[in-house]
Structure 1
Amino acid sequence: MTAKVTLAMFGSSLVSAYWNGAATYYRGMIRALDRCGFDVTFYEPDAFDRQQHRDMPDPSWAKVVIYPATPDGLQSVLEQARDADIVVKASGVGVFDEELEAEVPRLRRASNLTVFWDVDAPATLQRMRADASDPFRSRVPNYDLVLTYGGGPPVVDEYSNFGARRCVPIYNALDPTTHHPVQPDPRFSGALGFLGNRLPDREARVREFFLKPAALLRDKKFLLGGSGWDRNVALTDNVDYVGHVYTRDHNAFNCSTLAVLNINRDSMAQVGYSPPTRVFEAAGAGACLICDAWQGLEQFLEPGKEVVRVESGEDVAAILPALTPGEARRMGERARRHLLSEHTYEHRAIEVKKLLVEQLSRRAVPARYDEEVHRAAL
């Protein structure tokens, strides 16, 4: 294909990371897709004060359309997206998710593709398993393709069982233009840093892997960043809570502590094969990464050489006193080199381009919309 492929994507936000953990993934993927020949328009609702907490201007590599979080606003952007070669509904938009899940497949024509891009597949699948009346169960087969932020074979199998025509994991990755080593910043100095918003299915693991070792190592400074930890959380006096950390400060945060802790949410840890953006952000900045154990970690980083894998808060408390600055730097640099060689968004975009162009070429021959599946979703 010589002309640019047009891609319309409905997601939470591209320009604000405020209560929006998928922002790094969106930015890395869409910037790389632009370089691969895609013309991307990103539709995001004006909701949850995200526009008041923007951390980037509209980018040159995507058109951003911010629409009112109203039924009329939604219908307007659906109409705008109708002519795109590829129309993507991402999970977790935050408003009108159910309506978008139903309406995006109805934009399907003989020569375009509709895609559901799940940025939290373990949670989506858990929701569908728990509720037989969840309308998305019958809508999964309406999409030409399901892409997932992670999840590996377990997620592919489950989506297939729900009738997905095809499901392919597109993992998080490193965007080296955004995440890279910088000089340490005294604001973020300490022995261990953790950056993550307070969420119900993450909190217990934060207490285990971060707050417990902080209580056991009272002579060491721990740094906690992210929204929501200032309400009804007992922090020991050696924990410095810095609140929401804007993306412009992520490199400094990751480069200023002896080590950086990654803590997966419960659902992602249980399914495995779901490295969060924080893994790539921290390792891309050359940080020494301590990661809670989950299946498939070794697919991205080598435990013991490029990442420290821990099973409990006691493990974290035992490792930190023995970790020297020299060994921390060496481990972080090994991880950074590995990601640059195999796990950048350029690698992911090449994979996505091949997949989408292949699917589009099949659709170039007029195809009949599956009316039976469509009626089942109504």
Structure 2
Amino acid sequence: MTKPLNIVFIGLTLSSSWGNGHATTFRSLLRGLNASHHSCLFLERDMPWYANARDMPHPDFCRLAYYDRPEQLAGEFAAEIRAADAVVIGSYVPDGVAVIDLVHALSPRCLCFYDIDTPVTLAKIERGDEEYIARRQFPLFDVYFSFSGGTVLTLLEERYGVRTARALYCSVDPDRYFPTGEAFEWDLGYLGTYSSDRQPVLERLLIEPARRLPHRRFVVAGPSYPDSIDWPANVVRIEHLPPEQHRSFYSRQRFTLNVTRADMVALGWSPSVRLFEAAACHAPIISDAWEGLDSLLPEGDALVIARRPEDVVTVLETLPEASRQSQAERAAKIVLASHTGEARGRELVQALSAARLPHAKRALSA
């Protein structure tokens, strides 16, 4: 049995799920680590956008502390960073390049990066955009945990100089995501913050089917959608849906739609947290297509892959109820076996233990 670890996370946000997928990803992972008796401190930049919309200001599965500027990490929190078994810095951390340099200068025992946005990160780097990590910083990390798997891991090591790249997909907490048994309210729904690169797919796979099926009911939940969007009359809009309402939302859909950002489709192997949450709630999934999806949730067995409005219309109008239920049950079985917070926590700890072994050997021989 692995001895309990002391891990410091520096991430975008844990306290607020407003307009981001990072909070729910970190919450599930840290709950899983807590269930295995690991101790975690999460350091979050105190930003007004999240401070005014916190739906988890006091988590019961880890310590949560806020800092106002990067320099505090090398001052107020320096001792805890140095003492930790591992420090994990996340993507999209404000002033991330400065944060990485400051933390690296403290010589933590094991320094890691958790990229919850890997395809977006690499696309930004190729454009010369170093918003939260610089190209020179990739080799600084003992382990680079990636939201994306597959060939992306080889790319990280061979092109960007990462020492060790490991897939660490998002995950779901089965104690919070499960079917509620509520009656269906919508035939097809979607949960996600507006993104300009996802919007054409949403238009193709939900809005256009809604126009063609005026007798069916649709719903889109998430913030930041522009007023210029022409929503059909049979599409309900929900501006923000806090995590505690997600399971009810999924349970009230005959089908739920999964839409993936363009950069993630391009690289593949990038399942979103919504994919796992919907499956855990036994909501049958209609998804856009990308490499690696079929290996996670087999097409026709655990979900439906749609490419055109006609594909969605056919599913909503003709798929037998037995097939709908069978796909939902199969997806739930796969996700609950391999994609929970506890499963992901074990993967993280195994990778950290392997990364720290060379350090331990050097210390013993010194």
Tell whether the structures are fold-level matches, with TM greater than 0.5.
Answer: yes
Amino acid at match of 1:121: T
SS of corresponding position for 2:283: coil
Amino acid at match of 2:154: V
1:115 aligns with 2:144: no
SS of corresponding position for 1:275: coil
SS of corresponding position for 1:146: strand
Tell me the distance in 2 between the aligned counterparts of 1:327 and 1:53: 40
SS of corresponding position for 2:198: helix
Cα distance, 1:2–1:127 mapped onto 2, change above 3 Å: closer
Which digits, 9 at most, give the CA deviation of each residue in 1:328-367, with x for residues without a partner?
2232112111222233222222222111112222212447
The answer on whether the counterparts of 1:205 and 1:266 sit within 8 Å (CA) in structure 2 is: no
Q: Which residue of 1 aligns with 2:56?
A: 56
Q: Which residue of 2 aligns with 1:199?
A: 195
Amino acid at match of 1:125: L
Q: Which residue of 2 aligns with 1:90?
A: 90
Q: Which residue of 2 aligns with 1:179?
A: 177
Match among 107, 123, 132 for residue 126 of structure 1 = 123
Amino acid at match of 1:272: G
The answer on whether the counterparts of 1:114 and 1:145 sit within 8 Å (CA) in structure 2 is: yes
Tell me the distance in 2 between the aligned counterparts of 1:39 and 1:185: 40
The answer on whether the counterparts of 1:12 and 1:20 sit within 8 Å (CA) in structure 2 is: no
Tell me the distance in 2 between the aligned counterparts of 1:217 and 1:12: 40
Q: Which residue of 1 aligns with 2:99?
A: 100
Per mean C-alpha deviation after superposition, the further-off stretch among 12-21 and 281-290 is: 12-21
Amino acid at match of 2:171: A
Cα distance, 1:129–1:78 mapped onto 2, change above 3 Å: farther
SS of corresponding position for 2:83: coil
SS of corresponding position for 2:13: coil
List structure 1 segments (4+ residues) > 6 angstroms apart after TM superposition.
132-135
The answer on whether the counterparts of 1:180 and 1:286 sit within 8 Å (CA) in structure 2 is: yes
Residue 40 (structure 1) shift: 0.6
Cα distance, 1:76–1:206 mapped onto 2, change above 3 Å: farther
Per mean C-alpha deviation after superposition, the further-off stretch among 299-308 and 226-235 is: 226-235
Amino acid at match of 2:82: R
Tell me the distance in 2 between the aligned counterparts of 1:48 and 1:315: 42
SS of corresponding position for 2:12: coil
Tell me the distance in 2 between the aligned counterparts of 1:126 and 1:230: 25
Normalising by structure 1, report the TM-score.
0.89
Match among 221, 227, 231 for residue 235 of structure 1 = 231
Amino acid at match of 1:96: D
Per mean C-alpha deviation after superposition, the further-off stretch among 29-38 and 239-248 is: 29-38
Residue 150 (structure 1) shift: 1.8
Match among 210, 214, 217 for residue 218 of structure 1 = 214
Cα distance, 1:26–1:321 mapped onto 2, change above 3 Å: same
Cα distance, 1:60–1:200 mapped onto 2, change above 3 Å: same
Which digits, 9 at most, give the CA deviation of each residue in 1:271-307, with x for residues without a partner?
1111100110000000111111111112211110110
Percent identity over the alignment is 29
Normalising by structure 2, report the TM-score.
0.92
SS of corresponding position for 1:192: strand
Amino acid at match of 1:151: G
Which digits, 9 at most, give the CA deviation of each residue in 1:194-213, with x for residues without a partner?
00000222222222222121
Amino acid at match of 1:115: C
Which digits, 9 at most, give the CA deviation of each residue in 1:36-79, with x for residues without a partner?
342110011121432322223522221000222x3555554552
The aligned length equals 361
Q: Which residue of 2 aligns with 1:292?
A: 288
Residue 259 (structure 1) shift: 0.3
Q: Which residue of 2 aligns with 1:163?
A: 161
Tell me the distance in 2 between the aligned counterparts of 1:74 and 1:84: 13
SS of corresponding position for 2:61: coil
Q: Which residue of 1 aligns with 2:305?
A: 309
The answer on whether the counterparts of 2:74 and 2:103 sit within 8 Å (CA) in structure 1 is: no
Q: Which residue of 2 aligns with 1:346?
A: 342
Q: Which residue of 2 aligns with 1:25?
A: 25
SS of corresponding position for 1:364: helix
Tell me the distance in 1 between the aligned counterparts of 2:160 and 2:358: 23
Tell me the distance in 2 between the aligned counterparts of 1:207 and 1:77: 48
Amino acid at match of 2:245: D
Tell me the distance in 1 between the aligned counterparts of 2:75 and 2:17: 25
| CA RMSD after TM alignment | 2.1
